[in-house]
Amino acid sequence: MSEPPGEHVVLAAWVARRNDWSGGDHASWAIRAAGDLRLLGSVSVFRIDRDQGDAEIGYAVLPAERGAGAAAAAVRQAAAHAFGTLGLHRLQLFHAVENTPSCRVAAKAGFTLEGTLRQSYRYADGRHHDEHVHGLLSSDVPR
């Protein structure tokens, strides 16, 4: 029986799929430290809706790389691309209420906590969790 793939392999495969931007519905990046080719994680602006001028943002950082500010820095850069290059108006970010690190990332990247959605998403544990919704407007970001 073969071993399940390690988290680097899973994340690398996910990043490879995200390299295809041809559908125009997402813009996604690997997160790397400056001057260092090591993969730290991934960030994605997805569900891009050109009519509404909005999108969602999501991110993940490998466990060994967490707590060093990688996610917050990546979200700030992805948001700059969403507003500057894509010309979007609003980004929204959802996370399970108990995901305190993700809530901190949202706050550090300048998002406003706008509310709590009740049992709004079924996570990998099979249960629907309450989620925070955070929003960032292009006008929130200093130019």
Which residues of this protein are in contact with ligand COA, per CB under 6 A? 58-61, 66-72, 95, 99-102, 104-105, 108
Asked whether the beta carbons of 60 and 42 are under 8 A apart, the reply is yes
In the complex, least distance from residue 95 CB atom to ligand COA, rounded to whole angstroms: 4
- Residue with Cβ nearer ligand COA (99 or 138): 99
Q: Shortest gap between Cβ of 60 and ligand COA (angstroms)?
A: 4
CB of 46 to ligand COA, least distance (A): 11
60-63: long-range pairs with CB below 8 Å, 24+: 60/11, 61/31, 62/7, 62/8, 62/11, 63/7
Classified as helix, coil or strand, 139 is helix
**Closer residue to ligand COA in complex, CB, 58/78:** 58
